[in-house]
Amino acid sequence: MSMPPSLKHWLPKLPILDWGRRYDRETLVSDGVAALIVTIMLIPQSLAYALLAGLPAEVGLYASVAPLLLYALFGSSRVLAVGPVAVVSLMTAAAVGEHAGPGMAAHAQVALTLAFLSGVMLLGLGLLRMGFVANFLSHPVISGFISASGLLIAASQLKTLMGVKASGHNFIELVGALVRQLPQTHLLTLVMGVTATAFLFWVRKGLKPVLIGFGLKPRLADVITKAGPVAAIAVTTMLTWAMGWQAQGVKIVGAIPQGLPPLTMPTWDLSLWRELAIPALLISVVGFVESVSVGQTLAAKRRQRIEPDQELVALGASNLGASFTGGYPVTGGFARSVVNFDAGAQTPAAGVFTAGGILLATLLLTPALYHLPQATLAATIIVAVLSLVDFGILQRTWAYSKPDFLAVASTLLATLALGVETGLVVGVAVSLALYLWRTSRPHIASVGLVPGTEHFRNVQRHQVRTSPALLSLRVDGSLYFANARSLEDRINSAVAAQPGLRHVVLQCSAINDIDASALESLEAIEHRLLDAGITLHLSEIKGPVMDRLQATAFLRQLKGQVFLTHYQAIAELAPDMLTHDSPAPASAPVAEDAA
């Protein structure tokens, strides 16, 4: 018995049924090697990001098991590695901190409730095929937000590196608190933290070339390089234990529960859900955008593709899995996904093997992490997040697009000054406002005939033929409520400047849509032109736009004609342009449209 098509449409796909059929021994080896490298990288990152979120270190390990398994089942990317990431951890800390203090049992309960709500939202958006929501976050906004978040995260970890207590609601307050705490800096902690940070920076850039210079193969050198954080953790942990640095004031991670991730339940409190709804939505959107961006970039390198709607389902399932196994919100991480790709992962099975490695760590390694200095984990976070900071985009957008520069700068400054959630909202609001501003002033060019051709170009840029009795206007953009008045003003100015004008032809080749407000404007334009003895014509209307216009009274009552091509319009309305040169009227108000 086959499944009804309507029901099949709403059920999530299982990409594992596709790649799983072709799974072979060679793929198994590639996935296994990639999983080993990612596991080595993920263990210290998971511990560090959990502490960044204000949660016990083991929560990071828990959040790296079920999400990986579920993403392997539902995800469309072959190499995306899901788990705790820096930005989402920071957003989690900000959202959960409003309801419980870091380290408290209630804090972990609220965090997994946040993961549950995020999972429900992502899954719902995926089932409704709403992957297009990622389009509302422009790259400049995301870049500004991530750069500011990286600075916030790095600044928040400096207190751990210094061995002091400092807090603040924004970057300025946090830096001020750190400056005031300078006299209380714990020297041993600072030396250890700075040394670990310098070592990790060097490992990231300088270790692999050295190892290759000693004759190691690139793959082995890459594995050893990715093990840099593990080496820093092992050495500082052993030194802290052997030298008794805990007794000298060095803060350690302490006891980490040994065992499998626990079965947990979110808090079924509707009032808490209402308060967490907006943070959960922002975390969902940011996580989804980051995952899709990374997934699409890596898929393109192998001529593969991902499905945004399917990614929503996979990330939703991953977050639901985290909420029921003691975790917190997760998403696809940039760094670990790139490492997974570079290490040769071929399928999401690499994530399954990585989850197995994390499980072994929770079962066997946690007792060895008792003396792990918190400063080492802080160094791990700082090195990871500073790679996300991209100030170069300020220069690039300033040179290319001032509105995009404004979007980047406003997002970055708002995030630093007001916090991650407010900063992101400000960035989206500024982007939408700039979009409305730009589209409310569409480029409207007066065009003429290029001699010897059937092409029309801007009279301000090309030597073209025109006629004093005819005005050809090309509107480069859709017409809607915000910009319809611009067209009215432009035509009114042209009519006043050309006394001999008899025909106005709108070249509609760049118009993809005309809304109701713009339609009313076109009606008003035609009536005013008729009163002045001028006829309005249209040319090169796109099919979908024509379909809608044919159902309106405007097209039926239009006194002018609708031409298939603009050349046909000129040939009928101003045939003299085909044989005689006629320069554009000097008084025509077209200078502002030179572009």
pLDDT in tens, 4-51: 554 455 556 777 787 778 888 888 888 888 888 788 878 888 888 998
State which of 405, 428, 451 marks the end of a domain: 428
Whether residue 317 has pLDDT greater than 50: yes
Q: What is the pTM of this model?
A: 0.76
Residue 7 belongs to some domain of the structure: no
User: Residues with Cβ < 8 Å from 536, sequence gap 6 or more?
Assistant: 504, 506, 522, 525, 526, 529, 530, 558, 559, 560
Instruction: List pLDDT tens digits, range 393-412.
Output: 899 999 998 888 999 999 99
Task: Record the tokens describing residue 266, joined without a space.
Answer: 């979110």
- Do residues 286 and 110 make contact, with C-beta atoms less than 8 angstroms apart? no
- Percent of the chain topping pLDDT 70: 94
Task: Name the band, by pLDDT with cuts 50, 70 and 90, for residue 521.
Answer: very high
Mean pLDDT computed over 131-148: 80
CA angle, 317 then 319 then 323, to 5°: 115
Return the beta strands (E) in 450-582 as ranges.
456-458, 470-476, 503-507, 535-539, 562-563
Burial 213-227 (b: 16+ CB within 10 A, else e): eeeeeeeebbbbbbb
Domain presence at residue 434: no
Cα 573 vs. chain centroid, distance in angstroms? Answer: 50
Q: Please indicate, yes or no, if residue 1 is contained in any of the structural domains.
A: no
Domain final residue, candidates 377, 398, 428: 428
Instruction: Express each pLDDT in 231-240 by its tens digit.
Output: 888 899 999 9
Q: Are residues 344 and 457 in the same domain?
A: no
> What is the residue whose two structure tokens read 């760049």?
510
Quick one: 389 and 465 in the same domain? no
| Shared-domain flag, residues 375 and 465 | no
Least confident of 21-25, 171-175, 242-246, 347-351: 21-25
| Whether residues 355 and 478 fall in one domain | no
Q: Are residues 383 and 521 in the same domain?
A: no
Question: Which secondary-structure segment (H or E) carries 443?
Answer: strand 443-449
Mean per-residue pLDDT for 97-123? 83
| Rounded distance between C-alpha atoms, residue 132 and residue 509, angstroms | 26
Structure tokens at 86: 């820096």
Same domain, 398 and 452: no
Report whether pLDDT(585) > 80.
no
How much is the CA Rg of the chain, to the nearest whole Å? 30
- Same domain for 41 and 176: yes
Domain boundary among 393, 428, 463: 428
- Expressed as residue numbers, the domain containing 469 is 443-593
pLDDT for the residue numbered 322 = 95
Whether residue 503 is contained in a domain is answered as: yes
Give the single-character DSSP code of 13: P
In a domain, 297, yes or no: yes
Query: 6 in a domain, yes or no?
Result: no
- Cβ contact 208:221 at 8 Å: yes
Q: At residue 184, does pLDDT exceed 60? A: yes
- Which of 96-100, 382-386, 445-449, 518-522 has the lowest average pLDDT? 96-100
Gap between the Cα atoms of 374 and 186, Å rounded: 13
* Residue ranges in 387-442 assigned as alpha helix (H): 392-400, 402-418, 420-439
**Whether residue 213 sits in one domain with residue 145:** yes
75 with 211, same domain?
yes
Mean pLDDT of the 187-192 span = 93
Residue 333 lies in a domain: yes
Q: Which of 118-122, 154-158, 173-177, 400-404 has the highest mean pLDDT?
A: 118-122
pLDDT at residue 580 in the model? 54
Please, are residues 161 and 383 in contact by the beta-carbon 8 Å criterion? Answer: no
- 360 and 483 assigned to the same domain: no
Between residues 592 and 498, the one the model is more confident about: 498
- For the domain that residue 494 is a member of, what is the CATH number? 3.30.750.24
Pair 464, 326 in one domain: no
Number of domains in the chain: 2
pLDDT at 101: 56
> Once rounded to an integer, what is the mean pLDDT over residues 503-530?
92
Mean of per-residue pLDDT scores for the chain: 85
With respect to residue 311, please indicate whether it lies within any of the assigned structural domains. yes
User: Does residue 371 sit in the same domain as residue 496?
Assistant: no
What distance in Å separates the CA atoms of residue 594 and residue 592, rounded to the nearest whole number?
Answer: 6
Least confident range from 376-385, 503-512, 529-538: namely 376-385
